[in-house]
Amino acid sequence: MSYVTTQDGSQIFYKDWGPAGGAPVLLSHGWPLNSDAWEATASFLAGHGYRAIAHDRRGHGKSTQTWTGNEMDTYADDLNAVLTTLDVTGVTLVGHSTGGGEIVRYVARHGSARVAKMILVSAVPPFMLRTEDNPAGLPIDVFDGIRAGEAANRSQLYRDFADGPFFGHNRTGTVPQGTRDAFWLQGLAAGTHNTYECIAAFSATDFREDLTRVDVPTLIIQGDDDQIVPFDLSGKLSVQLIPDAELIVYEGGAHGLPDTERERLHSDILSFIST
């Protein structure tokens, strides 16, 4: 298996698919998942001649379950270690949900010298938590409830997310059992301490200033029925903060677009990165 070692000695697992000389695309996953969540997209991109790289965030999947560093600055530094170690340049960064925050923080923290484009999919920026200067955000009770579920019975918590709002199964009742089981299984592959601390990372990190520093072509994709990261708090605002960003709204789309809108998402990604 392939790993990159970070500055604190953590091992970050990654997949590197497709032709070595293909234009690189790095895929960053959501909470509490891992790089397996992007397998269909990575396979699609590799099949179209791109080099598809997907890593497991620290504490998730096959990466080291560290006790510390479960926050956005370290996630961004880990991503920098992956790109630097693999000497990746001209990359398109694609981030789903928490992964969207990771790639935005990476550009704000490390610059865009290695980056050609960016795609945010159902991403957590600009800022999810309600504060005095972000009154439209979600109340902390929402995230405390997730933390309580993580602490009490995380297996059930992940079942509830998969069977309910993550894929919009509570709306349609049509999301396949296998898709929902994959979410549950990936969640349990992560460390409970890591996923617990990651809740604060995705909910309480303020990316508003970070978004203004993005200086590469950016595509924002989100469903307007996202029950995890509400569209009005995310894509609708991010497109106003990133210079010259493009927004595509999936009518009725849920949060888990890499699964629920796979063919359309693949088409939109391919169209954006090939022009």
- Quick check: is 267 catalytic? no
Q: What is the residue whose two structure tokens read 């961004």?
A: 76
Do residues 81 and 212 touch, judged by C-beta distance below 8 A? no
Catalytic residue among 29, 55, 60, 255: 255
The residues that bridge with 119 in the sheet, in sequence order, are: 94, 219
- Quick check: is 255 catalytic? yes
Catalytic residue among 56, 226, 259, 268: 226
- Quick check: is 110 catalytic? no
Note if the bond before 243 is cis, omega within 30 degrees.
Answer: no
Q: Which amino acid is at 9?
A: G
Do residues 273 and 216 touch, judged by C-beta distance below 8 A? no
In angstroms, what CA-CA distances link 83 with 76, 120, 251?
A: 11, 18, 34
Catalytic residue among 28, 35, 63, 97: 97
Please give the helix or strand (H or E) that residue 58 lies within, else none: none
Q: Could you give the residue numbers annotated as active site?
A: 97, 226, 255
